[in-house]
Amino acid sequence: MRKILVVARHEFVTTVRRIGFLIVTIGLPLLMGLLGGGVLLLNAKSMTEEHAGIQGARLGYVDRSGLAPAEHPRGADWKRYDDADSGRRKMAADGVAILILIPEDYLKSGKIEALTTRRPSITSIGETYVPQVFVDWLVRRVLAGTAEDRVARARHPVEDPVIQFILPDASGPQATERPEDYYRRLGTAFFFLILLFLSISVVGGYLIQGMADEKENRVLEMVISSVTPGQLMAGKLIGLGAAGMLQVVIWSILGVSTVVMSAVSFALNPGLFIFCAIFFLFGSLLYGSLLLGIGSLGTNQREAMQYTWVLNLLMALPAMLWFIVLAEPQGVTARVLTAIPLTAPVTMMARYAVDPAGTPTWEILATMAWLGLWTYLGLRFSAKIYRVGLLLYGKRPTPREIWRWLRA
């Protein structure tokens, strides 16, 4: 055990003292925050300006609908044309930015054409180019002769609807929730899904890079004359696991959590962090041991990465399918991903965070036991390959050789 701790401390200290670690740990979230914040601000500014530009633009229109005439709203300096051609010809000279064509069959089809000299920016793609004041004017004309209060209601038939979601296991009138509570859980679950995925991936990255460095530096034979390959593997998993954890804690404190908390109102439940820590432990031990075992067959970092891409893909699967997992935490996809050992930690974390009441306790416990079993098997399997793979320099083992090591 002492030797495992010596290896763990060495791995931890040498990793966190690297300049690269500091740059990634502190620089990356700062950069992301600055860039992300900057882009959001610019987007919001450009959207507001474009919207205001459309709403305040001088309008021209051609009305062939035959609807009852009405006065232009107060302050509206609109220009009426007899036909589309003359409107098009004259709009530039008249300072008209948007020309609206109301066709003969408008009442039946509701179709409106808008010709505009304005070019949309990427942020204003959804704009209709028909200002709200013109829409209101049309409503009044359609409902000509109707009382003013009814016209007002027709313009907003539903004001601030009160929505309650009935929970899947609803058993009485209490079992409902407001949308904002649901969105809060969704945001929280997304945060934990990304946090857990990132932290396990970061540990994996350190492990594979460290092992490749040791192989390329030819230091391993000297090290394993002092410790067993199993002790070395355990020490690396603990030391680099701690370094990865430290990085994620710093990220959470520095910026990631702030961004998430400000974007979506965020439910910080300490229980979720404990849940996250447990699944981090299982996830990083299983993924890390398999990475070390299979990665040790490569003679350098490039080869190690070639051998382990399937593991990386599996690890990333819940993060790629987040929208399905979060939308249907008890659905087939989420359950299948919970059954696959490498995708189970992140999936179960997300399922529990988004739907704590609906995720059965037995399934959580069974997943932990299942992961415990696979982590044990993964460690044993990898220790056997790692023991021999460590000393492979420049020679690729055949599948038959690997099979022999596994049986040894």
Partner 1 sequence: MAALEVDRVVKSYGLRRAADGVSFTVEPGEVFGLLGPNGAGKTTLIRMIMDIIRPDEGSIRALGAPVATGVKDRLAYLPEERGLYQKQRVADVLVFLGELKGLPHHVARRRADEYLDRVGLLETRHKKMRELSKGMQQKVQIAAVLLHEPALVILDEPFIGLDPANRALVIDLLKETAARGAAVILSTHLMDQVEALCSRILLIHEGREVLAGSVREVKERHADNSVLIETDAPLEGRPEVERATPAKNGLTRLSLRVPPEKLLAALVAEGRAIRHFERALPSLEEIFLKATGAAP
Least Å distance, CB 233 to partner 1, is: 14
Least Å distance, CB 297 to partner 1, is: 17
Least Å distance, CB 396 to partner 1, is: 15
If binding is defined by CB under 8 A, does position 217 make contact with partner 1? yes
Please state the separation of Cα 192 from the chain's center in Å. 10
Of 187, 281, 319, 199, the C-alpha closest to 248 is 199
If binding is defined by CB under 8 A, does position 47 make contact with partner 1? no
- Other CB atoms within 10 A of residue 235 CB: 23
Of the candidate spans 32-40, 120-128, 146-154, 219-227, the one that interacts with partner 1 by CB under 8 A turns out to be 219-227
Nearer to partner 1, 187 or 229 (CB): 229
Round to whole Å and give the CA distance between 21 and 175. 47
Q: Torsion angle, CA of 369/402/292/235, rounded to 10 degrees?
A: 80
If binding is defined by CB under 8 A, does position 10 make contact with partner 1? yes
**93, 125, 147, 222: which one binds partner 1 (CB under 8 A):** 222
Of 345, 360, 351, 364, the C-alpha closest to 324 is 351
If binding is defined by CB under 8 A, does position 6 make contact with partner 1? yes
3-state secondary structure of 344: helix
- Residue matched to tokens 């382990």: 308
If binding is defined by CB under 8 A, does position 305 make contact with partner 1? no
CA atoms within 13 A on the CB side of 345: 29
Please state the separation of Cα 327 from the chain's center in Å. 13
Tokens of 152: 């007002």
If binding is defined by CB under 8 A, does position 223 make contact with partner 1? yes
If binding is defined by CB under 8 A, does position 143 make contact with partner 1? no
Of the candidate spans 1-9, 31-39, 91-99, 262-270, the one that interacts with partner 1 by CB under 8 A turns out to be 1-9
Of the candidate spans 6-14, 147-155, 265-273, 287-295, the one that interacts with partner 1 by CB under 8 A turns out to be 6-14
The DSSP call for residue 122 is G
Answer whether 115's CB lies under 8 Å from 99's CB: yes
Q: Which amino acid does the sequence have at 66?
A: G
3-state secondary structure of 56: coil
If binding is defined by CB under 8 A, does position 330 make contact with partner 1? no
Binding string to partner 1 for residues 360 to 389, with x set by CB under 8 A, is what? ----------------------------x-
Residues between 225 and 284 that touch partner 1 (CB under 8 A): 225-227
Round to whole Å and give the CA distance between 383 and 367. 24
Nearer to partner 1, 181 or 214 (CB): 214
Q: How far is CA 92 from CA 62, 79, 82, 98, 211, in A?
A: 15, 12, 16, 10, 69
Nearer to partner 1, 20 or 168 (CB): 20
Of the candidate spans 4-12, 96-104, 256-264, 347-355, the one that interacts with partner 1 by CB under 8 A turns out to be 4-12
Q: How far is CA 103 from CA 68, 84, 110, 113, 115, in A?
A: 14, 10, 9, 8, 14
How many residues bind partner 1 (CB under 8 A)? The answer is 22
**82, 113, 169, 213: which one binds partner 1 (CB under 8 A):** 213
Least Å distance, CB 18 to partner 1, is: 8
The contact set with partner 1 (CB under 8 A) reads 2-3, 6-7, 10, 14, 18, 213-214, 217-219, 221-227, 388, 391, 393
